Amino acid sequence: MLGTRKRLRRKWLAIERRLRELRMIWRGLIDTDHPILAHLIPIRRCNLACKYCNEYDSFSKPVPIMTMLRRVDRLAELGTSIVTISGGEPLLHPELDAIIRQIRQRGMIAGLITNGFLLNAERIERLNRAGLDHLQISIDNVEPDDVSKKSLKTLDYRLRLLAEYADFHVNINSVVGGGIRNPEDALVIGRRAVELGFTSTVGIIHDGDGQLRPLNERERGVYLAMKALEKSSYAQINYFQDAIANGRPYHWRCRAGARYLYVCEDGLVHYCSQQRGYPGVRLEEYTLEDIRREFRTEKSCAPRCTVSCVHQVAYIDFWRAPQTARPAPVPGGLVQIE
């Protein structure tokens, strides 16, 4: 049971966090010349090897801390509102707390996406002290299998620790698609998340090649049931998934490279984790002109995109600035966006 002091502290932090989020939304509505969200990669290595994932390796070293702090500073100079640290597995970075602290000191909202396996009470308290605002864990199944070890069985103890110790907002994302064998597991995971006081979302995931596979009838049923569980928050703004669940393209204005930046471990800005190579410009060289160009640039991969965070960021601009520009060819691009 949480003590009165702990409950009051959490309520105060939640109010303060919501006020900063409302400021972020207001600023995003009145000015399009800054990123709303950046994903920052401090390490590509991961302690797991989920079959559908193409965003990790088993050998990369952490990016040096001074390099990471300079990248945080550059994102602040560009006017970024939220910096979410991802990977790989970011908890493998030995100076993760310092990165989070720098994000907060530069006036940005700090998020973290982790598989959760390295969390314990002491580690959660350190994240509290660093000033973390949001944490997300994706759980793929109830029992681990050869597709994913991120199961409720292996992580439930970590979830209980988060419920007891975390001062930051926690979202548990369950998934359908991408080779997940038992789609009904998503409902079990979502209900457990709500029971523990977290928010719950559902994602439609790509396969190991980054390709969308529309949901079958069984998966669509689970997806609709999960939608009914979701609590109200900005993360639940994911209407695009209704089209994907039914195998239809979704027509929208992707603002990747402008309102959303994916900064890889090499410090290059990409559209997203699935379109690495474009625009492929170093973060320290990224300018307002790059942001304005990509804001106007139509992305041909958009209609079948499954990257929720890019969709969510784009909602703030759906009503303005029709896109007319086409992406310029980038020598040595890693991924074609057609």
What is the side-by-side strand order in the sheet with 134-139? 199-205, 169-177, 134-139, 109-113, 82-85, 37-40, 260-263, 268-270, 279-282
Say what the pTM is. 0.90
User: Which residue in the block uniquely carries the two structure tokens 């609590």?
Assistant: 231
Q: For the chain, how many structural domains are there in total?
A: 1
Tokens representing 245 are: 């669940």
Angle made by CA atoms 135, 230, 178, in degrees to the nearest 5: 75
Radius of gyration from C-alpha coordinates of the chain: 19
Question: How many Cβ atoms sit within 10 Å of the Cβ of residue 150?
Answer: 21
In a domain, 325, yes or no: no
At 11 the pLDDT is 94
In a domain, 334, yes or no: no
Question: How many Cβ atoms sit within 10 Å of the Cβ of residue 335?
Answer: 18
In a domain, 287, yes or no: yes
Tokens representing 15 are: 């109010």
- Where are the strands (E) in the chain, listed by range? 37-40, 82-85, 109-113, 134-139, 169-177, 199-205, 260-263, 268-270, 279-282
CA-CA-CA-CA torsion for 262, 263, 264, 267, nearest 10 degrees? 160
In a domain, 326, yes or no: no
Domain CATH code at residue 280:
3.20.20.70
110 backbone dihedrals φ, ψ, rounded to 5°: -110, 125
In a domain, 223, yes or no: yes
In a domain, 330, yes or no: no
pLDDT in tens, 201-252: 887 765 544 456 677 777 777 777 777 776 544 445 566 777 777 777 888 9
What is the pLDDT tens value at each position of the chain, 338 positions in all? Answer: 578 888 999 999 999 999 999 999 999 999 999 999 999 999 999 999 988 788 899 999 999 999 999 999 999 999 999 999 999 999 999 999 999 999 999 999 999 999 999 999 999 999 999 999 999 999 989 999 888 899 999 999 999 999 999 999 999 998 777 666 788 898 999 999 999 999 998 877 655 444 566 777 777 777 777 777 765 444 455 667 777 777 778 889 999 999 999 999 999 999 999 888 899 999 999 999 999 999 999 998 888 888 888 998 999 999 898 988 776 554 444 434 43
Separation between Cα atoms, residue 255 and residue 293, nearest integer Å: 10
Question: 103-137 burial, b if ≥16 CB within 10 A, otherwise e?
Answer: bbebebbbbbbbbbbebeeebbeebeebbbbbbbb
In a domain, 332, yes or no: no
In a domain, 322, yes or no: no
DSSP readout, 11-57?
A: HHHHHHHHHHHHHHHHHHHH--SS-SEEEE-S--B-S---TT--S-B
135 lies in which domain range?
Answer: 4-317
